[in-house]
Amino acid sequence: MATKLISLYLLLLLFIFQFRLSLSEQTNSMQSVPDLQKSMYMVIDGYPCVRLLNLSGEIGCANPGRDKVVTPIIRFRNANQLARSSAVFVSLDEIQELFDRISDDSSFAKNVGGVLVESRTNMQNNITGFSPAQKFPEVEFAPYKSISYEWNPIGSGIMRKAYNFPIFLLSEASSQIMQEIATKNERQKNAYTADVAEFDLVMQTTKSGTRDSESCLREQTCLPLGGYSVWSSLPPINITSSNQSKPIILIVASMDSASFFRDKSLGAESPISGLISLLAAVDSLSSMDGLGDLSKQLVFSVFTGEAWGYLGSRRFLLELDLQSDSVNGLNDTLIEMVIELGSVGKGFSGGNKTFFAHTAGVSSATNEILNAFKHAQDSLESKNVVIATASTTNPGLPPSSLMAFLRKNSSSSGIVLEDFDTAFANKFYHSHLDDMSNINSSAIVAAASLIARTLYILASGSKNLSSSALSAINVNASLVEEMMGCLLNCDPGLTCELVKDYISPTASCPSHYVGVVIGEPSSTPYLGYVSDVSRFIWNFLADRTSIPTENTSNDCSKGCSNKDEVCIRAETNGKGVCVISTTRYVPAYSTRLKFESGSWNVLPSNSSDPLGMVDPVWTESNWDAIGLRVYTVQDATFDRFVLFGGIAITILAYLAIAITRAFITKALKRD
């Protein structure tokens, strides 16, 4: 018996020696704590769904409490029942089925610890569509009663619901890694180790218990959604003159989109195709002679926050009422008509580039716009550009900034130019899949050509413009393609030469999520609080709509001497150039909010402001850090086995030592 115990003890010592030798070799290969962490934890690239709030409650995603969520990874297709908390790895074509299951099966939902959404190349070709938005986006702002109409039939509405678990969209590289991990977990189903995902998506609103916009703004655990819109006039308006009597044609587009995943909001078709068309039209018109002799004033406005309750257009209209510095030089009583460029990147049908004019009622101004469109179409006959009036069976305008104008003044005259008639052509509306592959540059060029010539016809006031005059208005197709690469791709992205000629971008990959308002809103904001895209648009429009100054100095580091002048390209070399241009930033945030004494306050609703009464007042929760990583953990049962095994070995070792000592003592006495 003693001999067996001694043998067991020696084997234990040999095992400990080998383990220490192996540990020593590993330690020698690791030079620092970060090396050790890198060997244990794998950081996963992804795009989170975050927590947003309004006056009624919450939407979006967050960890359920104050702690990180750690849970094993399982494929959705293998998860008939979830016996314990799990991170569900799901492909995009299964995501609607997953959310339906979460809604319908409470026992399944309570064990969803997190969701990991797979990314694949050319995913758009493998699914019929994916839109997490509502079937009628921003329905509460519709200027008509047919609110059950489906402009977005494929919309699921999942992005407007609240989820008390983290959800991440994985990068393509991380998707491949997660595939391998999920497969490994399936193979080792009964093993003592498992690979787990650790989600760090703890929101401050969750920690503080502030579950709506009013309470989180009061406790300063969130910030309002918003940013800075831009407007510019062509030619510049003489703001020092009191004699401004030209009727205004206001041309608008949006610069922001939305997505289920915060930082993956490209919005190529909706609305960036319209934005690029507007910028290209401005570029083509700016080279025309005699703009100062036109009988009407062209004003271009690019709004942000339109995806979240038309924040930009509503705030713009309020600033006009207040005659604030941000709209200095603009008289709202002179606005004769509004033309909006919506989704125009898919305008192809039967070899023609087809666009639809959605009208806001019937008026002489609306008919004038339609006639100008027809005239412009005829001048583009060789390019097969077709303009059609939208179906009369439509309940009214599609979701657009023009709705805000109509709700404020029902007699407003305007048209929205779109590439669809009765329902969105975009099958990926407000989805991360609405990327550059979802649009066509030729359609954008055609829309820009159509709008540029239409505007010239309207502004000239002449019904008999010669075809030669209109043929001089040509859109730069290369510029359109360059802007697509800058605004809709990471390569070159915002580090493209066009953008870098005006600003110093803070990031390469563009995202058109509206963001949050930081600090006090201002008509002359601190540029660090203005997004890259807003700053680029401001500089581009200020440059293209400008006229040279009499001052020969190119340096405006000390400011421009004339009130009519602005400083462009100031970021690129620290000096910039003074030009005569009427280009302004306009803060974009809820009309129900007021910034005072360093904090935001929600104003009471006012019956005189019907749009304010339905304003959700969107905010975004603050957070300390967001992260996702995977690592291997041992099963708790195995941990207990190791513990009890260690205790047993310790007892055996003690007995072996005691018996050995007794044996040796007895042997010595015998001698």
Task: Give the lowest-confidence range in 61-65, 93-97, 190-194, 471-475.
Answer: 190-194
* CB of 659 closer than 8 Å to CB of 2: yes
Predicted local confidence at residue 575, as pLDDT:
85
* Residue partners of 140: CB distance under 8 A and separation at least 6: 309, 614, 616
Predicted local confidence at residue 417, as pLDDT:
98
Task: Give the lowest-confidence range in 546-555, 594-603, 613-622.
Answer: 546-555
Is residue 25 over pLDDT 70? no
Element (H, E) at 162: strand 162-163
Q: Shortest CA distance to 588 belongs to which of 265, 365, 254?
A: 254
Predicted local confidence at residue 10, as pLDDT:
45
Q: How far apart are CA 67 and CA 545, in angstroms?
A: 52
Average pLDDT estimate for 21-42: 56
Element (H, E) at 98: helix 95-104
Task: Give the lowest-confidence range in 12-16, 201-205, 631-635.
Answer: 12-16
Is residue 591 over pLDDT 90? yes
Q: How far apart are CA 257 and CA 23, in angstroms?
A: 52
The distance of Cα 198 from the centroid of its chain, to the nearest Å, equals 24
Q: Shortest CA distance to 70 belongs to which of 628, 534, 474?
A: 628
Q: How far apart are CA 268 and CA 655, in angstroms?
A: 75
Segment 229-245, tens digit of pLDDT: 999 999 999 877 767 77
Q: Shortest CA distance to 329 belongs to which of 235, 455, 459, 461?
A: 235
Is residue 70 over pLDDT 80? yes
* CB of 553 closer than 8 Å to CB of 350: no
Segment 189-200, tens digit of pLDDT: 666 678 899 999
Predicted local confidence at residue 168, as pLDDT:
97
Segment 293-321, tens digit of pLDDT: 899 999 999 999 999 999 999 999 999 99
Q: How far apart are CA 51 and CA 49, in angstroms?
A: 7
Is residue 12 over pLDDT 50? no
Alpha-carbon separation of residue 136 from 131, 397, 399 (angstroms): 12, 11, 8
Task: Give the lowest-confidence range in 155-169, 306-320, 346-360.
Answer: 346-360
Predicted local confidence at residue 150, as pLDDT:
97
Average pLDDT estimate for 22-45: 61
Segment 364-390, tens digit of pLDDT: 999 999 999 999 999 998 788 999 999
Answering whether pTM is above 0.85, one says yes
Tokens read off for 283: 């570029």
Segment 388-415, tens digit of pLDDT: 999 999 999 999 999 999 999 888 999 9
* Residue partners of 639: CB distance under 8 A and separation at least 6: none
Task: Give the lowest-confidence range in 100-104, 122-126, 133-137, 580-584.
Answer: 122-126
Predicted local confidence at residue 37, as pLDDT:
58
Q: How far apart are CA 507 and CA 527, in angstroms?
A: 15
Tokens read off for 313: 């257009």
Q: Kindly indicate the confidence band of residue 31, based on its pLDDT and cuts at 50, 70 and 90.
A: low
Predicted local confidence at residue 190, as pLDDT:
62
Segment 103-129, tens digit of pLDDT: 999 889 999 999 999 998 888 888 999
- β-pairing, 248-254 with 335-341? parallel
Predicted local confidence at residue 15, as pLDDT:
44
More confident residue, 438 or 353: 438
Residues in the chain: 671
Predicted local confidence at residue 29, as pLDDT:
52
Predicted local confidence at residue 574, as pLDDT:
79
Predicted local confidence at residue 448, as pLDDT:
97
Burial letters 156-194, b for 16+ CB under 10 A, else e: bebbbeebebbbbbbeeebbeebeebbeebeeeeeeeeb
Is residue 260 over pLDDT 50? yes
Average pLDDT estimate for 458-484: 89
Is residue 93 over pLDDT 80? yes
Segment 431-456, tens digit of pLDDT: 999 999 999 999 999 999 999 999 99
Q: What number of other Cβ atoms are within 10 A of residue 261's Cβ?
A: 23
Predicted local confidence at residue 16, as pLDDT:
43
What average pLDDT is seen over the chain? 89
Q: Kindly indicate the confidence band of residue 555, based on its pLDDT and cuts at 50, 70 and 90.
A: confident
Q: How far apart are CA 212 and CA 53, in angstroms?
A: 5
Please spell the DSSP secondary structure of 379-444, one letter per residue: HTGGGTEEEEEPPTTS-SPPSSTHHHHHHH-TT--EEEEES-SSS-S-TTTTSTT-SGGG--HHHH
Predicted local confidence at residue 26, as pLDDT:
47
Predicted local confidence at residue 20, as pLDDT:
43
Predicted local confidence at residue 5, as pLDDT:
44
Tokens read off for 485: 């690469």
Burial letters 603-627, b for 16+ CB under 10 A, else e: eeeeeebebbeebbbbbbbbbeebe
Is residue 636 over pLDDT 90? no
